[in-house]
Amino acid sequence: MNNSNNQNSNAFLPEGTRRDKGKDAQRLNILVAKAVSNSVKSTLGPRGMDKMLVNEMGDVTISNDGATILKEMAIEHPIGKMLVELAKNQDDEVGDGTTSAVIIAGGLVSKAENLLDENIHPSIIIKGYKMAAEKANNYFTEISENISISDKKALLDIATTSMTGKAAEYSSSLATIVVDAILKIANSKELDKEQIKIEQKIGGNLSDTKLIDGIVLDKEVVHSEMPKDISSAKILLLGTALEIKETETEAKIQITSPEQLQAFIDQEEEQLKEMVNQIVSTGANVLICQKGIDDLAQHYLAKAGVTAVRRVRLTDVERLAKATGAKIINRLKDATDKDLGTAQKVYSKKISGDDMLFVEGCPNPNYVTILLRGASEQTLSEADRTLTDAVGAVISSLKSGKFLAAGGSSEIDVALKLKNFAKTIGGREQLAIEAFAEVLEIIPKTLAESAGLDAIDTIVSLRSKHQDPNNRGYGVDVVNGTIADMKSKNIIEPLNVKTQAIISSTEVAELILRIDDIIAGQSGRGAPRMGPQDMADMWFFFLFF
Ligand SMILES: Nc1ncnc2c1ncn2[C@@H]1O[C@H](COP(=O)(O)OP(=O)(O)O)[C@@H](O)[C@H]1O
Ligand SMILES: [Mg+2]
């Protein structure tokens, strides 16, 4: 931490560069990792607390989703960024379990600090952690049970567990919608969460949320005279603007007479008319445009009886391409009837006063939309995150084909097994494996605390329950504030959400422990800045939570 210590070794570095070496560097990084991980800890589980985040613009996010909180915190320290990345990764890979992954990473790093104090070399700790991670995942797999698309009840339980405590009283109806959505796309090979679009529309409440067999766009038809209800739709997807491009260089056009001006306008009109004619000649009756549509082009389209929407997001254009079989056109001149997609019906409907476009009955039925309703922006965005997690969890359970009892029960069971395994390892790695087991117990401990239970007592009783394999499902029932067999209560979660959290948190802990030298320029973006003032700021920040 002290610049003067390192002055000699800094001789070759530019003036003003900070250098922290060896233990100093490690301690600093551990401190940051612990602080970041602690900041999301209290959000874990159905009884977890929400965080309110306010950015410089005054926008408010209320969430108890680990990945969201970390993203909104805009952490600058590179170690903090690693944990943000970890949460994002977990989200991308398995769609749930982000808070758990960050808590485990923080725990691993924190326990490593104790081991470093006992003069155990980082490479021994890393080796022990890696052995433990591999074993842990084998144990998780051993105690998991099978699940498949035909187990609708179990899929509902997974969705419900992922949502408990989040969308409050509507979680069971939303869980049903999530599972229905997944059952609709279950026949597709990909089984990707992108196939389920969540479209938020303010108004009504969460119980008005509906599953739509197709794709819904929050877009109004551009011209009042265009048809609002089209059956046997033939859809053209346009990736470019239906406008006359402004010349890129500032070409000056000398217009000296009213006739010339008229000729110029006529020429533009002519070009737009031609573009519209090209669209009409393909036989399209619906145009979905990613960019803008000129007013005049709108007029010609309306006259030709073609319905159009504009400025549609690329992700939606891509979804529509897959669902309707349309090709995205980037050169209108090349468009033919073969590029069109189809849908049984395309119609515009008012939802809370705004027109939305529904594209239903697509040839590829593996694209659906959850039209999410809620009274406020905040309710909607938190419900959106909750639904996204639940979709991720159910898809994950189908991909791994396995589930575990929730409430920290699997962590307790695996921790016990790991401790036994540690005893069979002679070297100092044993200590790291034991530490790893203790880290797993942080999950049930945190859940116990969130339910107002005594963490130590709870862990002790769970450990004793788990001596008997028949009690493997025992975990923290946070809703009722007691320990219970979570399996028999149908509170279950996907296997790969657990195993992915172990893999990625162990990797991050390893990365952090391998660093023993921090060289930081005083200026420049992204450089690690962690002076005493920064630490003070950080504490202030965390007290806020
Ligand atoms: N009804 C429940 N009772 C006890 N624990 C539960 C219940 N539902 C979920 N959990 C536990 O809550 C944890 C997940 O909490 P969550 O806030 O979703 O964090 P994450 O971001 O890690 O998914 C898991 O350990 C899960 O087993
Ligand atoms: Mg979750």
Q: What is the 3-state secondary structure (H, E, C) of 396-421?
A: HHHHHCEEEECCCHHHHHHHHHHHHH
Ligand 1 within 6 A of CB of 494: no
Ligand 1 atom at minimal distance to the Cα of residue 489: 1
Whole-number pLDDT of residue 545: 37
Give the angle 382-213-350 at the CA atoms, nearest 5°.
70
Ligand 1 atom at minimal distance to the Cα of residue 411: 25
The rounded distance, in Å, linking the Cα atoms of 83 and 153 is 35
Q: Verify whether residue 99 is a known catalytic residue.
A: yes
Confidence of residue 125 (pLDDT cuts 50, 70, 90): very high
Whole-number pLDDT of residue 520: 65
Confidence of residue 76 (pLDDT cuts 50, 70, 90): confident
Whole-number pLDDT of residue 540: 37
Ligand 1 within 6 A of CB of 444: no
The rounded distance, in Å, linking the Cα atoms of 295 and 278 is 17
CB of 245 closer than 8 Å to CB of 272: no
Structure tokens at 93: 């890979």
Span of 168-177, 185-194, 327-336, 416-425 with lowest mean pLDDT: 168-177
Give 477-526 pLDDT, tens digit per residue.
999 999 999 999 999 999 999 999 999 999 999 999 988 766 666 544 44
User: Of 20, 65, 316, 485, which one is the catalytic site residue?
Assistant: 65
Q: How far is the CA of 387 from the centre of ligand 1 (A)?
A: 14
Among 50, 491, 496, which residue has the most ligand 1 atoms within 8 Å of its CB, making it the best to mutate? 491
Q: What percentage of the chain exceeds 90 in pLDDT?
A: 69
pTM of the complete model: 0.84
Compute the average pLDDT of residues 375-380: 90
Distances (CA, A) of 157 to 392, 393, 406: 14, 11, 11
Q: How far is the CA of 240 from the centre of ligand 1 (A)?
A: 45
Strand, coil or helix: 11: coil
Ligand 1 within 6 A of CB of 411: no
